[in-house]
Every structure is written in structure tokens, then in C-alpha cells.
Amino acid sequence: MPQILTFIQLSGFISQGVVTWLTPEGKVDGIHVFLGELDNLFTYDTPIKTREGILDWKDIDWILNPNNLGIPEKIPHYLPTLLAHKGNHLFTYSQNKMVHQKL
């Protein structure tokens, strides 16, 4: 699949932390999480299929709904903390338990 560029321009963004986990092969994997804001009048037609998944706008309640099967299971564990507390956070997901550490 070709790379999809959104061309979304942000005036700035901040790092909200790192989420790490162990793969089934025992290797450490993870993602950096960045937070930015868009003007309320900003529009962007979605959904768009990308290499990483489907890009779409969703309300936070949809994302955090415990019955939602449309997102990775780890997101409801770390997203509320990342949104509520500025700064860097390290999350480790191991043996079905999320461990949080404020950096």
C-alpha cells in the first residue's frame, strides 16, 4: 500500500509519553504518543485506509468504551492518563497488566 500523507498542519505538538510492551517473541516494542490540537473549524474527510490502520475522527467516549472492538485493547489502559497528565509517561504492558511510571 502506498504511503498516505495527511498534510495536516499543526502549530505545535508535545510528547505525552511512550507505551511499551513485550511481543510474543519476547522483544520490546512500543510507540511514542504525541498530542496536538486542531481548530474546531478544521475539516478532513475520513475514513482513510492507511498502512497502520484506518484513520478516522472518533469521540473519546467511543475510544474508551469497554465494549469497543474497533481499537487495540491497550489504548483504554493508557489514553486517559496521557490526556489527563502532561509530561512523559512510560507504560509497560506485560503479563496482561499495564504498569505506569511518570518520568
> Which residues partner with 93 through β-bridges?
21, 98
pLDDT at 81: 87
> Is residue 55 classed as helix, strand or coil in its secondary structure?
strand
pLDDT at 2: 53
pLDDT at 12: 86
CB contact set of 18 (below 8 Å; sequence gap of 6+): 30, 31, 32, 33, 88, 89, 90, 91
Instruction: Tell me the pLDDT tens digit for each residue of 51-103.
Output: 878 889 999 999 999 888 888 877 888 888 888 887 777 777 667 777 787 76
pLDDT higher than threshold 70 for residue 4:
no
Give the E-state strand segments of the chain in sequence order: 13-22, 28-36, 48-50, 53-55, 89-94, 97-102
The predicted model scores a pTM of 0.66
- The closest alpha carbon to 7, from 33, 53, 42, belongs to 42
